Amino acid sequence: MSEPQFIPARPDELPLGPGVRILEANEDGLVALDKPTGLMSHPNRHEDRERSLLGAHYDYEQERYEWTTEGGEARCAWLINRLDSPTSGVILLALDPDLNAEIKQQFSTHRVRKVYYALVKRSPAKPAGIWSDTLHKTIERNGRLIKGARLVSAKTRYQIMKEPRGGFPICLIKLMPITGRTHQLRVQCKRNQHPIVGDKTYGSFSFNREVEMETGEDRLMLHSAETVVNYAFRGRSRSFSATSALPEPFHKVLAFRPGLRTGRPNPAGPRGPLAGRRFRRP
């Protein structure tokens, strides 16, 4: 039996995962999707399809989604970049193989502008700056994964956007990565003493519990808000941008004030054990 001949899909043919929506799409076949928190950029197993960006098979070698339409036609779409499962926001697909290669080249040479927003514990001492850190990278050698075997540099610009008063000791910051390392923003926030709220790997676990207890929110408070890429394709210069609004849980945590219950009921009392407490400022 011959293998199906996959052809690039149209935006309206994408089998979008739950809660995923199209933000922008252009005539070249570049598509920006809005990924909810909890969805995977691609499935790791067959059973992961129901909680992935697209409800389709993923070819790891080709780095693309593949599926068959109701009419029996084989379709595909290339995944350009990835977001951690708990991170929400803008993520890119290509519906053309040459375009996929071009945009990935833009990413590899750090010419794509990406903006994230994060709720972090405490406020940085300076309103804006650059974090420069050295991270340990896991590499594969002779079929074995060696954790932390390689040192890589990581740089991120940050800017304070909002510092609420009277609530949690948190800060909304804008993060603009200069390099693109795995978990870079989450690790750098931790390294610089400002762990991201809701981070179950690199965060402050006791503080995460306080936030969840008072607001009912336990998601990672990291959001990919904007992606801008300028590129040349088939003899023409292009500019593509997509933005995703800050999710409601961010506003809910920012607006929290002791004594004003906005989360789920707490069995310890109608106002919870932290009600009335004045959180210490950093």
SS (H, E, C) 182-242: CCHHHHHHHHCCCCECCCCCCCCHHHHHHHHHHHCCCCCCEEEEEEEEEEEECCEEEEEEE
- 25 forms beta bridges with 31
CA dist., res. 108 & res. 93, Å (int): 16
The DSSP bridge pattern shows strands 57-59 and 64-68 to be: antiparallel
CA dist., res. 118 & res. 136, Å (int): 23
pLDDT score for 49: 85
Q: Say which amino acid occupies 112.
A: V
pLDDT score for 87: 98
pLDDT score for 135: 86
pLDDT score for 149: 55
Tens-place pLDDT, residues 21-65:
999 999 999 999 999 999 999 998 888 888 999 999 999 999 999
The Cβ of residue 210 has, within 10 Å, a number of other Cβ atoms equal to 17
Tens-place pLDDT, residues 169-189:
999 999 999 998 889 999 999
> Does residue 65 contact residue 198 with C-beta atoms inside 8 Å?
no
Q: What domains lie within the chain, and their CATH numbers?
A: 1-109 (3.30.70), 111-282 (3.30.2350.10)
pLDDT score for 279: 38
Q: For the whole model, what pTM was predicted?
A: 0.86
pLDDT score for 4: 72
Residue spans of the chain under pLDDT 50: 1, 145-146, 262-282
